[in-house]
Amino acid sequence: MSLLQIQEPDAPPNKTDLRLALGIDLGTTNSLVAIINDNGQAETLPDEKGRMIMPSLVRYDKDGRVTVGEEARIVDNGNAKSVIASVKRLMGRAAKEVGDDYRYDYASKEGMVKISTVAGEKSPIEVSAEILRHLTRRAKTATGRQVAGAVITVPAYFDEAQRQATTTAAKLAGLRVLRLLNEPTAAAVAYGLDNAEEGIYAIYDLGGGTFDISILRLQQGVFEVLATGGDTALGGDDYDRALAMLAAKKMGITEFSDEDFGV
C-alpha cells in the first residue's frame, strides 16, 4: 500500500519513493509480514531463503549478538534459556501473574516480567521489538522501499496493558503503529467474509498462546465487534506441554522440568 509518492508530472513511477504500510502477524509461535502489492493483492514477503513464515524465536549471546527466527533454534551459546520463545504470552504481564509455570529464569518476582539471559535482563517488549525489527528489515529488503508504519494483529482478548506493550515494542523497533487489529477480524477479512452476506458471525482463534472468540456483525461491508471472550494464557504451547507430560508419564518418566520440553 503506497502512502506517499512525489514525482514530476509525466515521470515514470519510482518505486523507491513509495512508502509501505506493512501488515504484521506478531504470533506466539510464528510471525510474518505482508503488503498490498501494486496489483492490489495481499502479498506475504519472504526472507532471503524464500521462507514466508518466521518462528517467533530470539536468541541472545554473551557477545551481544541477537539472532531472530529459524536460525535462533541453533543453541550454540551453552544456555538454552537464552532462546526466547512464545514471548507474546508474557506481554503486558506482571511477574506475579506468571509465577513458576514457565520455562525461563525471571529476574524478579516484582514489577513487570524480566527474563534473565546470558546477555542480561530482557523484557518481553524488548524481545518482541527484535522480532518486529527483523520483519521490518525483511520488508525493506524484499521491496526496496521505505516503511511508513504497520498494522499489527493482536488477540481480541488482549487487555489494555498487553495492547500497550505491543505498541511500545513496535516503537522500540522504530516502527509506527497505524493500527492494532484484532486477529479474528483480520481472519474474517482474509477469508472474504467482508464480501459475504450480512449477518452475525462467530470466529474462533486458537493460536500458539491464546484462545479467543469474537462475535462480529457484518453490515454494509463493515465489521462491528459485538463481544469477545477467551484466555490469553491458553494455546498450542499448553497442548504441547500436556501431550509431552502424558508421553513422559507413559514412558515412566516421573521427574522432569519445563526445560526438558525445549523450545
**Among all residues, which ones are annotated catalytic?**
25, 88, 183, 205
Phi and psi at residue 211, to the nearest 5°: -140, 120
CB 55 within 8 A of CB 30: yes
Q: Rounded CA gap, 90 and 95, in Å?
A: 9
Closest to 191 (Cα-Cα) out of 204, 179, 178: 204
